[in-house]
Amino acid sequence: MPHHTSLITLLCLGFVLAFLFGMLAQRLRLSPLAGYLLAGVVAGPFTPGFVGDQTLAPQLAEIGVILLMFGVGLHFSLKDLMQVRRVVVPGALARIVLMTALGFGVGRFFGWDDGTGIVFGLSLSVASTVVLLRTLEDHQLLDSRLGQVTIGWVVVEDLAMVLALVLLPPLADSLHGEQATPLLPVILKTVLKIGLFIAFMLVVGRRVIPWILERVAGTGSRELFTLCVLAVAMGVAFGAAAMFGVSFALGAFFAGMLLNESEFSHKAANDSLPLRDAFAVLFFVSVGMLFDPMILVQHPIQVLLTFGLIVAVKWLVTWASLRLLGERPGDATLAASALAQIGEFSFIVIGLAVSLKMMQPEVRDLVLAGALLSIIANPFLVTPLVGRVKRRRQLAGANTPGPMSELVNHTIVIGYGRVGRDLLRLLRDRGVPVALIEEDMDRVIQARGEGIPAVRGNAVLPQVLAGARPEAARLAILAIPRALEGGEVIAQLRKLNPEITVLARAHSEAEVKHLLAHGADAAVLAERELAHSLTDMVMSTPPYRPARTT
């Protein structure tokens, strides 16, 4: 095969094989992730037939990690991290220390050298953000408390791993008995670099990134907007690595997190989704390529032990720390299960350790086998639990649709925020039959508590919209602050009921235009209404108030 086409070959075969094995896994009711990993094994050097380019695969995988971490950031604000910091910081750090110590012990038991034992434990201690994200997305748990805790947990682990990666080379030196670089200055330098990067992002990035995105959204070009989202994700990731020595993944995570504060974050998330999915698949394929299946035959006991450490011991450690830190038993069980796997950071850690001659290559294969098995097993751990938790919530009334089926000639209100809440109260006072669509679970529960029939979910999704019976409704009011998303909702609404009257909320002339162009019957510019109200108030205040004629 000519070398200059190896990237194309890898991409084509990677996608084709991943698709075939993904479909097969789906048929067998396994997670498609297992299929992608298997596709990688087939494309790897340890099985006969096609062998993909071993140097390109990890780079493609890295792009997958960048886009995924960007996506995590988009769903994760600083506020969320602050809310869960009391649980995730001590929990995640304790788990890393405990698992590393345990790995060290296991290493001693098997007669490995100390470096190998430490790296073995370290690599088992971090959960894969990629796998976690897939789990949360599949079960629509991204915005739940569980999502916050587990994502916060892996973010803390990822941060700790960035530090660990910098510490491995000096540690390797000292283990080899060479003139060791003192560890403290290295730690301080790394912490300083990460600190500088975070400060830079908070001061400059926080202003510049949303500003750019809003400008680009104003041009109305969907293509440019998507491109801008990608440029921000990849650009910040690259800049973080080149200028601050922070990992690509962490850089992308921050870029996403800053965008999260912008009103366009939902659209940015949706637009980058297809590319993210495609590269995430390549990530799993390239991991599969590293795997030598012979280890399963040669060292079955050690493989089982590694798997047990990840799935059982790590589960227990996580569960115990979550319970100790005050999480409810059901949530702790689900979170511990979702985090009982390993992935991308483990591969990065063992890769570095092997190249530093700090880890025996056979042990790397053990970690890979453990990762593969834990990723395959994870859905089996999580899915039944999710079903149970959801059923319990349903019993608690959180997801009952309410008296929706009798509604006719009603008004659908989308969004139960600053505008929607008051609007619903006023409409109900005037006897208008209403239905609400809101994506935030807590707000839905609150609305139902007040007797408002409500559907939970993003109104952009046709199945969510359908829950509010648009075909029988007279009006729909979009009380959400994001006009770009609003445009898409209107398009969906029109499909379901061409006759419906749609009113929408806007915050700029450009948004008014956008909404009207997408079929809104009227769009109210909030700031202009505010100006009118304020003018009325001024005009009713002396000395401007017209003198009363008696």
Task: Scan residues 434-473 and list those touching ligand AMP (CB under 6 A).
Answer: 437-440, 443, 458-460
Q: Tell me the closest approach of the beta carbon of residue 518 to ligand AMP, in angstroms.
A: 14
Residues between 379 and 418 with contacts to ligand AMP, criterion CB under 6 A:
414-418
Q: Which is nearer to ligand AMP, 252 or 437 (CB)?
A: 437
Q: Which is nearer to ligand AMP, 364 or 482 (CB)?
A: 482
* 463 versus 549: smaller Cβ distance to ligand AMP: 463
Copy the structure tokens of residue 335: 């979170």
Closer residue to ligand AMP in complex, CB, 292/439: 439
244: three-class secondary structure by DSSP = helix
Nearest of 417, 418, 441 to residue 147 by alpha carbon: 441
* Residue 414 Cβ vs ligand AMP, minimum distance, rounded to whole Å: 5
- 3-class state of residue 512 by DSSP: helix
> Considering only 5-13, 208-216, 254-262, 480-488, which stretch makes contact with ligand AMP by CB under 6 A?
480-488
Nearer to ligand AMP, 59 or 492 (CB): 492
Residue selected from 37, 419, 500, 502 as contacting ligand AMP according to rule CB under 6 A: 419
Return the HEC string of 110-173: HCCCHHHHHHHHHHHHCCCHHHHHHHHHHCCCCCCHHHHHHHHHHHHHHHHHHHHHHHHHHHHH
Between helices 344-355 and 361-395, what is the axis angle to 10°? 170
Least separation in angstroms between CB 178 and ligand AMP = 57
Q: How buried is residue 49: exposed, middle or buried, by Cβ count under 10 Å (0-12/13-18/19+)?
A: exposed
DSSP 504: E
CB of 216 to ligand AMP, least distance (A): 20
Min CB(192)–ligand AMP separation in Å: 38
CB of 530 to ligand AMP, least distance (A): 14
| Pattern 182-201, ligand AMP, x by CB under 6 A | --------------------
Cβ pair 150, 334 in contact under 8 A: no
Minimum distance between the CB of residue 487 and ligand AMP, rounded to whole angstroms?
11
Whole-number Å distance between alpha carbons of 261 and 243: 24
| HSE-up of residue 150 (Cα within 13 Å, Cβ side) | 32
* Residue in 480, 500, 512, 520 binding ligand AMP, rule: CB under 6 A: 480
Choose between 359 and 493: whose C-beta lies nearer to ligand AMP.
Answer: 493
**Nearer of residues 287 and 465 to ligand AMP, judged by Cβ:** 465
Residue nearest to ligand AMP (CB): 417
> Least separation, in Å, of the C-beta of 495 and ligand AMP?
16
Tokens of 221: 């070009």
CA atoms within 13 A on the CB side of 492: 20
Instruction: Please give the size of the binding site for ligand AMP, defined by CB under 6 A.
Output: 19
Site string for ligand AMP, 108-137 (x = CB under 6 A): ------------------------------
Do 161 and 349 meet the contact criterion of CB atoms below 8 Å apart? yes
Token look-up 């809104």 returns: 520
Find the shortest distance in angstroms from Cβ 410 to ligand AMP. 17
Nearest-approach distance from CB 461 to ligand AMP, in angstroms: 8
In 10 A of CB 308, how many CB atoms? Answer: 14
Comparison of 233 and 464: residue with beta carbon closer to ligand AMP: 464
Task: Give the max Cα distance, the chain.
Answer: 103
Nearest distance from C-beta of residue 485 to ligand AMP, angstroms: 5
Contact 130, 150 (CB under 8 A): no
> Looking up tokens 């061409």, which residue turns up?
498
Which C-beta is closer to ligand AMP: that of 58 or that of 481? Answer: 481
- For residues 201-240, which are near ligand AMP according to CB under 6 A? none
Q: Is 485 in the site for ligand AMP (CB under 6 A)?
A: yes
User: Which tokens is 458 given?
Assistant: 């993003």
As beta bridge partners, residue 412 has 435, 476
Contact indicator for 136, 151 with CB cutoff of 8 Å = yes
CA–CA separation, 357 and 343 (whole Å):
21
Select 102 or 419, whichever has its Cβ closest to ligand AMP: 419
Q: Which is nearer to ligand AMP, 260 or 458 (CB)?
A: 458
- The answer to whether 22 and 35 have CB atoms below 8 angstroms apart is yes
User: Residue written as tokens 């200055």?
Assistant: 185
Q: How many CB atoms lie within 10 A of CB 347?
A: 23
Instruction: Give the DSSP H or E segment for 94.
Output: helix 78-110
As measured in angstroms, the least distance from the Cβ of 292 to ligand AMP is: 47
Cβ 274 to ligand AMP shortest distance, Å: 19
Decide whether 80 or 439 has the Cβ nearer to ligand AMP.
439
Q: Which is nearer to ligand AMP, 376 or 476 (CB)?
A: 476
Q: Which stretch binds ligand AMP (CB under 6 A): 86-94, 288-296, 298-306, 432-440?
A: 432-440
CA 394 to chain centre: 25
Question: What is the contact surface with ligand AMP in residues (CB under 6 A)?
Answer: 414-420, 437-440, 443, 458-460, 480-482, 485
